[in-house]
Amino acid sequence: MLSGQQKTLISLISAVVARIVPEASPQILLERPKVASHGDIATNVAMQLAKPARRNPRELAQEIVHALMAENKAADFIASAEVAGPGFINLRLTPSAHQHVLRVIQDEGEQYGILPSNNEKVLVEFVSANPTGPLHVGHARQAALGDSLCRLFSAQGYDVTREFYYNDAGNQIENLAISVQARARGIEPDSPDFPADGYKGDYILDIARDFQNKATVQAADGNSVTASGDIDSLEDIRRFAVAYLRREQDLDLQAFGLKFDNFYLESSLYTSGRVEQTVQALIANGHTYEHEGALWLRTTELGTGDDKDRVMRKSEGGYTYFVPDVAYHVAKWERGFHRAINIQGSDHHGTIARVRAGLQGLELGIPKEFPDYILHKMVKVVRNGAEVKISKRAGSYVTMRDLIDWVGQDAVRFFLIQRRADSEFVFDIDLALSKSEDNPVYYVQYAHARICSMLAQSGHSAEEVAAANAAPLLAPTEFALMQRLAEYPETLARAATELAPHHVAFWLRDCAADFHAWYNAERVLVDDKELKLARLQLAQATRQVLANGLALLGVSAPERM
């Protein structure tokens, strides 16, 4: 979504370019110059057109500038324009063009940057943890990324569904059950009799005790499971342990402020026959073959970039893990989600081509790029300068709940969103607890709280501030802050398009920096009433957009710090 200011500028530049190079139809891109003294907005349109138009880019840029400044409508928006470097066009906006954004923000409030419904559905699947233990910091990163992405897509007009896929079938569930059984029988994790692939965290002992006490747990899907207490029944232990851990994970998600719309069980793909139906359809379509007792999928022939064919059914009869994934994504498609996004760890990279190949082999008209993937790298937790690796509760890793207990939900969310998903991240506990400008969440929240305090101390009503004339706002720091506010809608659109909520975190940090720079350079509560009210209006607009942006990350906007 472009701001009104940007739309107007693009329209003016497009009209001029159409006259000078009528055969061209360039994409007009506007960006903020890296050096503030170069202007407010820059475009490389002349450099785009130079080669096809067979023109010198600087000469073409100069002709565009002359024609642009001759436009009557341009005088309301463009104060000056100049050519820089190999052919960039740098524009300086008029004061009224800068100030216009304050009226827009005032009119739209919480809806500033929000688009109306586009009647399109999108399903975002994330966290999707095995119900074998507490959620770890990798799950926390997925939770932060997924929830903020869902909020972004909702802001862009999509009908969004959050889905959690439970991997409740397979060897890991068997290992969970035998681990609980061993603890129930008094076998310690360090005993040679403890299962080699068993889970050793304290939570296993908690499950074993509750099972023996015939406890009842309320599962995430609303169903309750009561333990039989029979430690010889591995199936009873399995059912209780899975329900117990689903509930524990749900409590962790609640502590994170995250609620899913739907929970989908891997086991249901088997009990409903979906897995078998998928396999038979791939066989019927001629995309499989038998080799050494195993059933293979011809993934190399299905155009998704896989480097070798993959086993679907092992020689002993069990299906490999990507087969239910294919069946699951057919279910997504059949539920009407023709846009689906999966957020997973980078160790799932090999799954992408296989799942997409399976979907192509079913010949259902599903696009080759379905579904979209965001693969995130792992998180390293550091405290007092040393890496923290062990959680007593989990036994071998730091949990989501650990992070929340240590630094709070706001810091966990902001910190885990502020970097690209595909970059490794060091979560510094000490930094997250610090009250300094080096702590990004504190820095942004402090800007919001400072504005709230300023508005409360001003002695002016919200109505007076809203009615103020913004014309006195002429300081360079004021132009910079208003320009930042005008870029917010485009930032949201870019973040959603690129599946990159970190753009919002970057924008918030930059906006807070622009606000603090303005606050330190210009007194707000001055004697000149007209100037004071104008500056309060700018402060109020900044507060509103900071709050809007923080809400998209699931982070609070405190009025006091």
pLDDT band of 9, cuts 50, 70, 90: confident
| Domain definitions of the chain by residue range | 4-93, 121-168+263-279+320-376, 171-257, 379-433, 436-552
What per-residue confidence (pLDDT) applies to 25? 79
pLDDT at 224 over 60: yes
Instruction: Write down the mean pLDDT value for the chain.
Output: 93
User: For residue 218, what are its two tokens?
Assistant: 């309320």
Closest CA to 547 of 516, 499, 511: 511
Give the model's pLDDT for residue 111: 97
Task: Compute the distance between CA of residue 341 and CA of residue 149 in angstroms, rounded to an integer.
Answer: 10
Alpha-carbon span 342 to 282, nearest angstrom: 23
- pLDDT at residue number 392: 56
What CATH superfamily classification does 4-93 receive? Arginyl tRNA synthetase N-terminal domain (3.30.1360.70)
Mean pLDDT of the region 58-85: 90
**What sign results for the dihedral spanned by CA atoms 348, 351, 356, 359?**
negative
- Predicted confidence at residue 24, as pLDDT, reads 79
Q: How far is CA 378 from CA 346, 347, 349, 481, in A?
A: 8, 10, 13, 35
- pLDDT given for residue 167 in this prediction: 85
Residue 170 scores a pLDDT above 90: no
Residues facing 279 on adjacent strands: none
Given a cut of 90, is residue 34 above it in pLDDT?
no
The pLDDT assigned to 397 comes to 84
Contact 3, 97 (CB under 8 A): no
Mean pLDDT of the 421-431 span: 95
Residue 4: its pLDDT value, please?
A: 66
Q: How confident is the model at residue 411 (pLDDT cuts 50, 70, 90)?
A: very high
- pLDDT, tens digit (0-9, with 9 covering 90-100), for 243-301: 999 999 999 999 999 999 999 999 999 999 999 999 999 999 999 999 999 999 999 99
* Backbone CA torsion sign across 16, 17, 21, 23: negative
pLDDT at res. 38: 83
pTM of the predicted model, to two decimals? 0.90
Predicted local confidence at residue 6, as pLDDT: 78
Q: What is the pLDDT of residue 74?
A: 85
Average of pLDDT values for 132-147?
94
Q: What pLDDT, on a 0 to 100 scale, did the predictor assign at position 349?
A: 87
What is the end-to-end Cα distance of the chain in Å, rounded?
33
Query: Cβ(31)–Cβ(45) under 8 Å?
Result: no
Q: pLDDT category, 168, cuts 50, 70, 90?
A: confident
pLDDT digits (tens, 9 = 90+) for 316-351: 888 998 999 999 999 999 999 999 999 999 988 889
How many C-beta atoms lie closer than 10 Å to residue 317's C-beta?
9
pLDDT score at 425: 93
pLDDT attached to residue 395: 65
User: Which range has the worst mean pLDDT, 22-36, 256-270, 452-466?
Assistant: 22-36
Determine the topology of domain 436-552 in CATH: Isoleucyl-tRNA Synthetase; Domain 1 (1.10.730)
- Using pLDDT thresholds of 50, 70 and 90, give the confidence band for residue 488: very high
Burial letters for 363-390: b for 16+ Cβ neighbours within 10 Å, e otherwise?
eeebeeebbebbbbbebebeeeeeebee
Q: Give, in order, the Cα–Cα distances in Å from 324 to each of 167, 170, 369.
A: 10, 11, 19
Rounded (10°) CA dihedral 440, 444, 450, 451: 170
CA angle 303, 306, 312 (to 5 degrees): 100
Q: DSSP per residue over 263-325, as a string?
A: EEEHHHHHHTTHHHHHHHHHHHTT-EEEETTEEEE-GGGTTS--SS-EEEE-TTSPBPTHHHH
Model confidence at 393, pLDDT cuts 50, 70, 90, reads low
Amino acid at 419: R
Q: Evaluate whether the domain defined by 121-168+263-279+320-376 bears CATH number 3.40.50.9100.
A: no
Q: Any idea which residue has 């929830």 for tokens? A: 147
The answer to whether the CB of 288 falls within 8 A of the CB of 296 is yes
Mean pLDDT computed over 186-199: 93
